[in-house]
Amino acid sequence: QKNKVKEKLKKGELTVGVITSLYSSALIEMLGYAGYDFIVIDDEHGAYSWSEIEELIRTSLLVDLVPIVRTNYDQSSIQKALDRGAFGIQVPMVNTKQDAEIVVERAKYPPKGKRGTAFSMRAGGYGYKSGKEFMDIADENTFISVQIETPEGVENFEEIINVPGIDMVFIGPTDLSVNMGYKNGSNNPEVQKTISELYKKSKKAGMPVGTIASSKGSIKEQINNGASFVSVVLTTVIKNALDEVNQEHLL
C-alpha cells in the first residue's frame, strides 16, 4: 500500500486528517469512509498500549486512511510505531538540526539510518515478506514529520527543514505559545508573527507544513496560511456542531 499522504504532499496537494488519543476502530472506519487522508494516533499525550496502536493501524489500512503515530522523541517509541506498521511518524520537540538527523536515523534502515531490523513483527509481514524488499519499501514509504514548538526550534528552523529525509515540518501552536511565555496564547500577535515567518521559510524551501486545527474556523485559516497537512481535533468538530445548533436557537 502506497503512502498517499507522502505522495500528495510531494505534489503540493492538501491533506486533511484527525488527531486522536481515543482507542476506537469505529472512529477510524468513520474517518476512512468520510474520505479523510490520515489519522494521527497520538501517543505523545495518549494512553495507548502498543497492541492498541497496532489495531488502529490495521483498521486504518482497511479504510484507506494513512496511519501516522505521534511518537515521543526516544528511539524505542519511533521503533515500536514503525514496527507496528505505521506509515509515518510525527515527532514532538525537535529543536536542533541534530535532533532532526537523529529522528531520520531512527526511522530509516542502514545504510541510510540505524533503525533496528526485525521481520517477525507486523510491519515485516511477520517474516512472510522478503526482507530486502520490505526494507526498501519501508524506507521509501515512511513519512517523517518533525514538530517545531519551542523558541529553540524556531531559531534552528532552516537547518532543521534542510535535513535530508524530513518530509514535513509540523508547527505546534499550543506548545510554541506556551514555550514563548504565553499560556493558552496561540492568538498572541508575537506568536502569530513567528508562525507566519515559519510558513514563509518553509515555502521558500519547498517544505510542506502541517499544523493543528483546534478552534472554530481554524481549518480554513490554517489552509489559507499555507498548511497542506491539517490535523483536526475532534473536540473542534463536536463544538462547532453545537455552536451551529445554539445559533439556530438564538435566531
Q: Is 45 a catalytic residue?
A: yes
- Which residue minimizes CB distance to ligand 3PY? 172
Mind giving me the DSSP string for 83-116? HHT-SEEEES---SHHHHHHHHHHHS-TTT--PP
| Shortest distance (Å) from residue 190 CB to ligand 3PY | 16
CB 95 within 8 A of CB 151: no
With contacts defined by CB under 6 A, name the span among 125-133, 154-162, 166-174, 234-242 that binds ligand 3PY. 166-174
SS3 state of residue 49: coil
Catalytic residue, chosen from 2, 10, 45, 122, is 45
> In Å, what is the CA distance from 104 to each residue of 40, 73, 74, 80, 163?
19, 11, 12, 15, 9
Site for ligand 3PY in 210-239 (CB under 6 A): 212
Does residue 149 interact with ligand 3PY by CB under 6 A?
Answer: yes
SS3 state of residue 238: helix
DSSP state of 216: T
With contacts defined by CB under 6 A, name the span among 71-79, 151-159, 169-177, 192-200 that binds ligand 3PY. 169-177
Give the span between the Cα atoms of 183 and 161, in whole angstroms.
26
| Shortest distance (Å) from residue 45 CB to ligand 3PY | 8
Q: Which three cell numbers stand for residue 177?
A: 505559545
Site string for ligand 3PY, 174-213 (x = CB under 6 A): xx------------------------------------x-
Instruction: Using CB under 6 A, pick the residue from 153, 172, 208, 210 that binds ligand 3PY.
Output: 172
Nearest to 145 by CA among 98, 87, 58, 201: 87
SS3 state of residue 58: helix
Q: Which amino acid is at 99?
A: D
CB 82 within 8 A of CB 103: no
| Shortest distance (Å) from residue 188 CB to ligand 3PY | 13
| Shortest distance (Å) from residue 139 CB to ligand 3PY | 26
With contacts defined by CB under 6 A, name the span among 78-86, 157-165, 172-180, 219-227 that binds ligand 3PY. 172-180
Query: Binding-site residue total for ligand 3PY (CB under 6 A)?
Result: 7
Q: Which is nearer to ligand 3PY, 149 or 167 (CB)?
A: 149
CB atoms inside a 10 Å sphere around CB 178: 17
User: Catalytic residue numbers?
Assistant: 45
Binding site for ligand 3PY (CB under 6 A): 147, 149, 172-175, 212
